[in-house]
Chains A and B, each alone.
Chain A
């Protein structure tokens, strides 16, 4: 693979970067990322990965852009109201960087399609807003041996963890099962500051960039928590569970599972 003069200019700040360079850029161009959810987390992640020149990006979301999304979902604009989020996101990504390939998928991930969806991607970003989807993505990535970035945000706090097969715990090592619907608050009920999603979604993009470029360390075995009110980040070192139902020694989960979403997530 060789870059044109225009591409060398577009990616020059990557290419001159020690420890990244042309080699890192080539790896991004050959790499692929699936972003599940074109919302608060998915918006910054998708824009940064498109701008960075990740060669192939998939973005999946079944919803349409709603006025209440625009406070944080910066990939969509006022002119996109009512449009499918996946299409609106794709248009914004290609406006930033027309040289990459973007696939817009207008669907919700479920147990029936998740293995097929993730199959052709190197790295997965969980930008979803509900626990059934978070467990689904975790289980599918563990079963398929795919690296992914988990993240969640609530009120003024966020947290993220990167799973790489064979390195550190999966999401289910930390949380064995989804909480029952409405047992814990969601953003819809509790609110969230847009920039918080921006901080955490950008961190997810950074994890994907490092994974694809093979540069630096990842958030494996460490849950990074962000407290926006205190402006403090903290990494919590966490082990794998030998008895984890999906990544453990004797897994009981051998195929993706559909859980009932929280009542407020029904559309």
Chain B
């Protein structure tokens, strides 16, 4: 199936949940990453139970603390 991850459409294996996608994408410090799926937030406790389907858009939001 095709998923659009961080704006990039890419081919992924079927039967993928968010936990697996986070592993595949090698997301840094995943417990502190916010996930948005098709414009709604997914609670971190719900990654395992969130199955992905063709055409889903997934965004990872990272903490960026710098500035001063």
Contacts and interface: CB of A to CB of B under 8 A. Distances in A.
B61 A129 contact: no
A184 B64 CA distance: 8
Given A174-B34, A175-B34, A184-B63, A42 B39 contact: no
A152 B62 CA distance: 10
Interface string A186-212: 110010100001001000000000000
B29 A127 contact: no
A173 B41 CA distance: 9
Contacts of B40: 239
Interface string B44-68: 0000000000000001011111111
B32 to A, nearest CB: 5
For the complex of A and B, list the 6 residue pairs with the smallest distance between their C-beta atoms, beginning with the closest.
A152-B64, A39-B68, A187-B66, A129-B68, A37-B68, A41-B67
B32 A186 contact: no
B61 A158 contact: no
B16 interface: no
Interface stretch (A16-24, A114-122, A230-238, A250-258): A230-238
A126 B6 CA distance: 25
B67 A152 contact: yes
B36 interface: yes
Interface of B: 6-7, 29, 32, 34, 36, 39-41, 59, 61-68
A151 B67 CA distance: 7
A131 interface: yes
Interface of A: 37-42, 61, 73, 126-131, 134, 151-154, 157-159, 173-175, 179, 183-184, 186-187, 190, 192, 197, 200, 223, 234, 236-239, 241, 262
A184 B66 CA distance: 11
A61 B68 CA distance: 10
Contact of A131 (B29, B34, B61, B63): B63
Contact of A239 (B39, B61, B62, B67): B39
Contacts of B59: 236, 238
A174 B61 contact: yes
B28 to A, nearest CB: 8
Given A234-B7, A239-B40, A39 B61 contact: no
A152 B66 contact: yes
Contacts of B64: 152-154, 157-159
23 contacts: A37-B68, A39-B67, A41-B68, A126-B67, A128-B67, A128-B68, A129-B67, A134-B65, A151-B67, A152-B64, A152-B65, A153-B66, A154-B64, A154-B65, A157-B62, A183-B29, A184-B62, A184-B63, A186-B65, A186-B66, A187-B67, A236-B61, A238-B36
A44 B40 CA distance: 34
A175 B63 contact: yes
A97 B20 CA distance: 55
Contacts of A38: 68
Given A183-B29, A184-B29, A236-B36, A241 B65 contact: no
Contacts of A174: 34, 61
